[in-house]
């Protein structure tokens, strides 16, 4: 226990965007990687960003010296930060450490990005968000030791500027629960088995933060809300009990706030943390509800995560207040207002959006507006509801205005969704479709195709920029796109691919492109959100009922088809992915919104068919990632997500071949859902696992067409003919021949032409060899 106790502030946020309002961190970090900015200059830029963040948060009303400002900066990823701090980097990066054994930027960035033969840590989804973290690798051989003073230095840096901030570190249970075993680990080893050895390093870390001037520390433990991890919720709760008994008992430590964002804490974890010798606990009251009374709260502060850290809506502030009142009823020592999660998932500031309609803006809250909401609620906690009644009422007025504004509810869209026929989601039997499609398309065995996009060259991106800025006319821009499509079709014919694509040169992004062309969406100018490392995306805002004012993709597909005798696939993004990669309205179930998007896509498919397109691909790479963290919520999700895909595609004629593409290989997890999509052909990632997914598919009895990716498009490496042929033979050995399609793992937009051409040549050649082998043996 600490000897001096400092009160927890009445309001706080769990974290703040770190990329900078103009993505300054991205530019600095990428310049450092390119060798044009040295380490000292990069550190200076980062320090300046942290300084600007603290000043901004103070200006928005968080206290300068009461620990309400989180110290949540990261150069790349918060999980890597924690792993680096405790020295848990795999052996292969050991030589990159500093002379004294600490982890500096060289080891840190190489672990994140790899270098030559040194594979980086794996990137994967952070809970059910669009953020990706780096997966630590931990084995019996991992030695834990405090390996950087970066966290402490940031606390000291803030102190020197007159701030007392609260460092934010991923907690020990979550760090281990998200880690994977190293290759050296024996079967059955789990990183969580190393908890006891890890804890002393956290104790040391906390002491170093205290010594640097931190009065509070925030340990993030989102693993305690998840039911989707390999470790069970009960085991995680038990680990948390052990971990916080040790950390709470550490000498000279700051007060400890444990944060449990993203969903409801498991009952066991709630009880364990309430009983633990920590001082404060933050719960997510947007995705979770106020937990039941439990022993041990009387000496703890409860932070109510009532301001949603994951959406961009101003929301219902009266109801946020009400949740804080309900939380107070649990008998904790004090209640504070907070965000449900870090604000790293939302853009910086809605005041930075000059192009958005003022009325829409009045309904929105980005990070800075959410900070102001927390500050208001905190004032209410201190001064009483009366002191903030006016602000709460203003938010209610905005909410009411949103409910009644034109476009939010569109009668025609609603009537159509409400009057769907019972068979609106069903196509003809698969056998009938297969026969009709074989007759219509006349494809060879092992048909070859690609996932849709061809390289988005610097030229294409420059043209789009010029068009956006009005430097070239739309007619000029579109003429250049037609030239690009002509080249891409020519190339595919020359390569000898069977099913062609137009290459998606007109799309900036597979979701934003549709958002820009559908009613009900708004597009931001500066609304960047970190996706991983230096990468950020600009999700669109889905604010109203969705409809399609005019065909979107049809003229490009039609033009491409006019250039070739071979079938050209129409390319659409599916409803689940459009929702997953946008900021979606929160005033109706996702299922309803998904059906509206589906109906717009259904019309697009009908128009594609009318234009002579015989194959349509509806991409759903996000199907798996939206899967809820709680097992109990998963069936309902799979039901509506699959239902929306079927609604989008079931209008297609029996002879029209519907493809879908999924971007991951965890086929087993959602196999029933994939089968239920009822697509005629599904392409899926397979190359990185050397085709293991093929066995899953075969064992599942999946009977429709399937294209396990034959090479990994995530690196410029060109696969050899024999490598591709081996994967293909594995597919042909394990699956009925007529099921197998040949395609890369994913779209080619991030690749350059030289490796793309070389890789596809090898794919076509490998397919020829395997086809010949089959004819000989049949
Ligand atoms: N059709 C898209 C492309 O090729 C699919 C990308 C994806 O699934 N992420 O780029
Ligand atoms: Zn993909």
* Contacts of 431 by beta carbon, 8 Å cutoff, 6+ apart: none
Asked if pLDDT for residue 3 goes beyond 50, the answer is no
Atom 6 of ligand 1: nearest residue by CA position:
747
- Kind and range of the H or E run holding 1: none
Q: Report how far residue 79's alpha carbon sits from residue 705's, in angstroms, rounded to the nearest whole number.
A: 39
Kindly give the distance from the C-alpha atom of residue 747 to the centroid of ligand 1, in angstroms, as a whole number: 4
**Ligand 1 centroid to residue 566 C-alpha, Å:** 21
Helix (H, G, I), strand (E, B) or coil at 719: coil
- In the annotation, is 714 catalytic? yes
Other CB atoms within a 10 A radius of the CB of residue 73 amount to: 22
Tell me, in angstroms, the distance from the centre of ligand 2 to residue 570's CA. 16
The answer to whether 241 touches 272, Cβ cutoff 8 Å, is: yes
Residue pair 617/660 in contact (Cβ under 8 Å)? The answer is: yes
Q: Is the pLDDT score of 296 beyond 90?
A: yes
User: Torsion over CA of 316, 321, 324 and 325, rounded to 10 degrees?
Assistant: -130
What is the per-residue pLDDT for 574?
98
Length of the chain: 778
**pLDDT at 714 > cutoff 90:** no
Q: Do the strands 529-532 and 535-537 form a parallel or antiparallel pair, or are they unpaired?
A: antiparallel
Q: What is the mean pLDDT of residues 221-226?
A: 97
Q: Which two tokens stand for residue 165?
A: 């901030």
Atom of ligand 1 nearest to the CA of 663: 8
- Find tokens 């090479």 and name the residue: 711
* Residue 447 exposure: Cα atoms within 13 Å on the Cβ side: 23
| Residue 689 and residue 725 in contact, taking contact as beta carbons nearer than 8 Å | no
Task: Say which residue the tokens 């068979």 belong to.
Answer: 423
Residue closest via CA to ligand 1's atom 9 equals 621
Hey, which of 125, 451, 660, 756 would you mutate to test ligand 1's pocket, going by the most ligand atoms within 8 Å of its Cβ? 451
Task: For residue 503, give the 3-state DSSP assignment.
Answer: strand
Please name the residues in contact with 71: beta carbons below 8 A apart, sequence gap of 6 or more. Answer: 50, 151, 154, 155, 158, 165, 166, 167, 168
For residue 371, what pLDDT band results from cuts at 50, 70 and 90?
very high
Query: How many percent of the chain have pLDDT more than 70?
Result: 99
Q: How far is the CA of 510 from the centre of ligand 1 (A)?
A: 7
Sign of the CA dihedral running 469, 471, 473, 476: negative
Which atom of ligand 1 lies at the shortest distance from residue 661's CA? 8
Cβ(608)–Cβ(560) below 8 Å: no
The residue-averaged pLDDT of 293-312 equals 97
Distance, CA of 595 to CA of 580 (rounded, Å): 14
Strand 255-260 versus strand 301-307 pairing type: unpaired
| Nearest listed ligand to the Cα of residue 665 | 2
pLDDT at 510: 95
Burial 238-255 (b: 16+ CB within 10 A, else e): bbbbbbbebbbebeebbb
CA 674 to chain centroid = 20
Atom of ligand 1 nearest to the CA of 573: 1
pLDDT score for 666: 72
- Separation between Cα atoms, residue 242 and residue 168, nearest integer Å: 20
Q: How many CA atoms lie within 13 Å of 473's alpha carbon, on the beta-carbon side?
A: 3
Q: How far is the CA of 622 from the centre of ligand 2 (A)?
A: 9
Per-residue model confidence as pLDDT tens digits over 238-269? 999 999 999 999 989 999 999 999 999 999 99
pLDDT digits (tens, 9 = 90+) for 103-130: 999 999 999 999 988 989 988 889 999 9
**Dihedral over Cα of 271, 275, 277, 279: its sign:** positive
Quick one: pLDDT at residue 5? Answer: 59
- Axis-axis angle for helices 39-59, 150-160 (nearest 10): 50
What residues does 166 pair with on adjacent strands? 70
d(CA 26, CA 34): 12
CB 339 within 8 A of CB 328: no
Locate the ligand 1 atom nearest the alpha carbon of residue 571 and give its number.
1
CA-based nearest residue to 399, from 341, 355, 359: 359
**Residue 18, φ and ψ in degrees, nearest 5:** -115, 0
Q: Which residue has its alpha carbon closest to ligand 1 atom 4? A: 747
Residue 667: partners with Cβ closer than 8 Å, 6 or more residues away: 674, 684, 693, 696, 697, 700
pLDDT of amino acid 690: 81
> 315: left (phi > 0), else alpha (psi -120 to 50), else beta?
left
| CA distances in angstroms from 13 to 167, 527, 638, listed in the order given | 12, 19, 32
Integer Cα distance of 689 and 390 in angstroms: 57
Atom 10 (ligand 1) nearest CA: 747
For residue 778, name the pLDDT band (cuts at 50, 70, 90): very low
Output the six-digit token pair for 161.
């500027």
pLDDT at 1 over 50: no
Q: Based on the number of CB atoms within 10 Å of its own CB, is 656 exposed (0-12), middle (13-18) or buried (19 or more)?
A: buried
Q: Are 514 and 539 contacting, i.e. CB atoms less than 8 angstroms apart? A: no
Residue 17, H or E segment: none
Bridge partners for 247 per DSSP: none
**Residue 328, number of CB atoms within 10 A of its CB:** 15
Of residues 345, 502, 704, 714, which has the active-site annotation? 714
C-beta separation of 279 from 255 below 8 A: yes
The residue behind tokens 């005041």 is 351
Question: Between the CA of residue 119 and those of 125, 143, 169, 692, what are the distances in Å?
Answer: 18, 20, 25, 20
- Find the 453 Cα to ligand 1 centroid distance in Å: 6
- Residue ranges around ligand 1 (CB below 6 Å): 451-453, 504, 510, 571, 619, 621, 661, 663, 746-747, 749
Tens digits of residue pLDDT in 551-589? 999 999 999 999 999 999 999 999 999 999 999 999 999
DSSP strand pairing (301-307 vs 280-284): parallel
451 CA from centroid of ligand 1 (Å): 6
Cα–Cα distance measured from residue 724 to residue 760, given in angstroms and rounded to the nearest whole number = 10
What's the mean pLDDT in 485-514? 97
Please give the span between the terminal C-alpha atoms of the chain, in angstroms, as a whole number: 76
Residue 467: is its pLDDT beyond 60?
yes
Burial readout 388-414 (b: 16 or more C-beta within 10 A, e: otherwise): beebbeebeebbeebeebeebebeebe
pLDDT at 688: 77
For residue 353, is pLDDT > 90?
Answer: yes
Predicted pLDDT of residue 624:
87
Minimal CA–CA distance to 585: which of 529, 494, 520, 635? 520
Q: Which residues contact 348 (CB under 8 A, 6 or more apart)?
A: 17, 20, 21, 366, 367, 368, 526, 528
607-655 confidence digits (pLDDT tens): 999 999 999 999 999 998 888 989 999 999 999 999 999 999 999 999 9
Task: Find the ligand nearest to 510 CA.
Answer: 1
Mutate to test the pocket of ligand 1, among 661, 665, 749, 751 (most ligand atoms within 8 A of CB): 661
Q: Which of 221, 230, 343 is nearest to 282 (CA)?
A: 221
Q: What is the pLDDT of residue 21?
A: 95
pLDDT digits (tens, 9 = 90+) for 538-547: 999 999 999 9
Average pLDDT over residues 491-518: 97
Residues with Cβ–ion distance below 5 A, ligand 2: 621, 663, 746
pLDDT band at 345 (very low <50, low <70, confident <90, very high): very high
- For 683, counting Cβ atoms within 10 Å of its Cβ (0-12 exposed, 13-18 middle, 19+ buried), the class is buried
Q: Whose CA is nearest to atom 5 of ligand 1?
A: 747
Between the alpha carbon of residue 164 and those of residues 63, 68, 161, 229, 515, the distances in Å are 9, 8, 9, 35, 42
Q: Which two tokens stand for residue 206?
A: 């906390």
72-112 residue pLDDT tens: 999 999 999 999 999 999 999 999 999 999 999 999 999 99
Q: How far is CA 729 from CA 769, 773, 774, in A?
A: 10, 10, 10
Predicted local distance difference test score (pLDDT) of residue 413 = 97
């Amino acid at each position: 226990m600490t000897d001096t106790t400092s009160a927890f502030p009445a309001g706080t946020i769990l974290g703040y965007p770190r990329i900078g309002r103009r993505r300054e961190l991205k530019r600095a970090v990428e310049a450092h990687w390119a060798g044009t900015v040295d380490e000292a200059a990069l550190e200076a830029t980062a320090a300046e960003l942290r300084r600007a963040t603290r000043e901004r948060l103070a200006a928005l009303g968080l206290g300068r010296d009461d620990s309400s400002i989180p110290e949540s900066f990261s150069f790349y990823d918060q999980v890597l930060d924690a792993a680096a701090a405790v020295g848990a980097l795999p052996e292969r990066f050991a030589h990159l450490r500093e002379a004294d054994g600490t982890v500096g930027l060289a080891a840190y960035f190489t672990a994140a990005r790899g270098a030559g033969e040194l594979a980086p840590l794996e990137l994967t989804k952070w809970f059910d968000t669009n953020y990706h973290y780096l997966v630590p690798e931990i084995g019996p051989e991992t030695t834990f030791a405090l390996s950087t003073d970066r966290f402490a230095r940031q606390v000291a840096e803030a102190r020197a500027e007159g701030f007392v901030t609260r460092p934010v570190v991923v907690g020990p249970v979550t760090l281990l629960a998200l880690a994977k075993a190293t290759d050296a680990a024996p079967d059955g080893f789990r990183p969580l088995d190393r908890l006891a050895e890890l804890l002393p390093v956290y104790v040391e870390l906390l002491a170093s933060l205290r010594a640097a001037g931190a009065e509070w520390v925030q340990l993030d433990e989102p693993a305690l809300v998840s039911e989707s991890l390999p470790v069970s919720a009960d085991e995680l709760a038990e680990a948390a009990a052990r971990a916080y008994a040790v950390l709470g008992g550490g000498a000279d430590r700051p007060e400890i706030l444990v944060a449990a964002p993203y969903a409801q804490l498991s009952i066991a974890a709630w009880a364990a943390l309430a009983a633990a010798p920590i001082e404060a606990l933050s719960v997510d009251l947007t995705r979770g509800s106020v937990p039941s009374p439990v022993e041990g709260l009387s000496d703890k502060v409860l932070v109510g995560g009532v301001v949603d850290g994951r959406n961009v809506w101003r929301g219902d502030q009266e109801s946020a207040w009400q949740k804080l009142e309900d939380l107070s009823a649990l008998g904790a020592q004090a209640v504070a207002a907070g965000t449900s999660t870090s604000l790293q998932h939302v853009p910086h500031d809605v005041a930075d959006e000059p192009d958005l309609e003022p009325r829409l803006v009045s309904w929105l809250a980005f990070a800075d507006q959410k900070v102001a909401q927390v500050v208001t609620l905190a004032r209410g906690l201190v001064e009483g509801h009366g002191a903030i009644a006016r602000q709460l009422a203003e938010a209610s007025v905005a909410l009411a205005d949103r409910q009644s504004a034109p476009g939010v509810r569109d009668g025609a869209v609603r009537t159509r969704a409400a009057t769907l026929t019972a068979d609106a989601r069903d196509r003809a039997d698969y056998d009938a479709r297969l026969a009709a499609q074989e007759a219509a398309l006349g494809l060879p065995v092992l048909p070859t195709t690609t996932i849709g996009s061809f390289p988005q060259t610097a030229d294409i991106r420059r043209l789009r920029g010029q068009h956006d800025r009005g430097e070239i006319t739309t007619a000029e821009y579109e003429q250049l796109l037609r030239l690009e499509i002509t080249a891409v079709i020519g190339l595919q014919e020359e390569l000898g691919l069977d099913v062609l694509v137009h290459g998606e040169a007109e799309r900036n992004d597979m979701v934003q492109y549709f958002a820009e062309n559908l009613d009900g969406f708004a597009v931001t100018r500066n609304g960047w959100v970190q996706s991983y490392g230096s990468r950020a995306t600009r999700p669109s805002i889905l604010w109203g009922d969705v409809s399609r004012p005019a065909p979107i993709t049809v003229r490009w597909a039609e033009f491409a088809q006019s250039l070739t005798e071979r079938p050209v696939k129409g390319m659409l993004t599916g409803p689940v992915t459009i929702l997953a990669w946008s900021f979606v309205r929160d005033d109706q179930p996702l299922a309803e919104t998904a059906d509206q998007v589906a109906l717009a896509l259904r019309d697009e498919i009908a128009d594609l068919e009318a234009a002579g397109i015989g194959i349509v691909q509806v991409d759903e790479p996000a199907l798996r990632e939206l899967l809820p963290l709680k097992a109990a919520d998963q069936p309902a999700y799979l039901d509506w997500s699959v239902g929306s895909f079927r609604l989008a595609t079931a209008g297609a004629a029996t002879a029209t071949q519907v493809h879908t593409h999924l971007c991951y290989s965890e086929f087993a997890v959602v196999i029933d859902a994939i089968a239920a999509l009822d697509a005629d052909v599904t392409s899926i990632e397979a190359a990185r696992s050397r085709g293991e997914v093929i066995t899953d598919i075969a064992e599942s009895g999946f009977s429709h067409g399937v294209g396990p990716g034959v090479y990994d498009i995530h690196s410029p490496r060109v696969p050899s003919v024999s490598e591709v042929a081996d994967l293909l033979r594995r597919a042909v050995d394990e699956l009925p021949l007529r099921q197998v399609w040949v395609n890369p793992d994913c779209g080619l937009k991030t690749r350059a032409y030289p490796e793309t051409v070389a890789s596809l040549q090898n794919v076509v050649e490998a397919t020829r060899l395997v086809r010949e082998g089959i004819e000989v043996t049949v």
